Amino acid sequence: MKFWIRRPGALRVETLDGKLLASTTKINSSKDSLFISGNRKPWLLPPAMANPVKDADGFVVRRPEALYGEPAYGSGRFSAALDPVELAGERPVPLEAPFANVAEIDGIAMVDHHGRPAVDAILTPNPSYRPLFPAAPLLFPGRTAVRIDLETAVCVASQSLDGDTSGAGHWMVLHGIDEYMLDDLFEEVSMGLTDVRSHIPWDLPGA
């Protein structure tokens, strides 16, 4: 399948031969109802406006509270892969507590994933592991091989290595990052807008 994503909530899904399977609708609708919902979620900052706490090497050690969320399709595994915080947790854990980390990590290696730098690792979940979608966890019982795109942190691949789930997982290829996309991709009814990425020919009289 092919996916077009505009964070935080727009998604278009097609088969490889171009058949439309799903598309976000009403992306330009009023958001007024959000701000009278009676809870604090609408007032959280977008992730781009919240600075995480980093260590001396530039790695994130604490993820701030923000309006996280990814467009979902299917079981929720796709959404979890786009923001795989469940593989690490949002904050540090006490060093003296055994198995307090979400998972035990082994076999870390830098790899190439369809022309993009990525990190491979083998993760074994601990009792503290809490998948974003319980019906579609990124980590299976036993060991799971995962691959994280270095630039975007998207979990581009995973594969169960043990037990009855051996071989299960997912694989995705990132073809573009931060590319321009028309609203038409995410609307139920096309507005007939011109795609400015394409060359527009001008026929001049007498030319």
pLDDT tens figures, 110-121: 999 999 999 999
pLDDT (0 to 100) of residue 139? 95
Q: Please enumerate in sequence order all residues whose Cβ is within 8 A of that of 8, keeping only pairs 6 or more positions apart, or say none.
A: 46, 67, 69, 70, 71
Segment 22-26 shows an average pLDDT of: 74
pLDDT (0 to 100) of residue 97? 73
What pTM did the predictor assign? 0.75
pLDDT tens figures, 169-198: 999 999 988 888 877 777 755 555 555 566
For 161, half-sphere exposure in the C-beta direction (CA atoms, 13 angstrom radius) is: 12
pLDDT tens figures, 133-155: 898 899 999 999 999 999 888 99
Segment 99-109 shows an average pLDDT of: 89
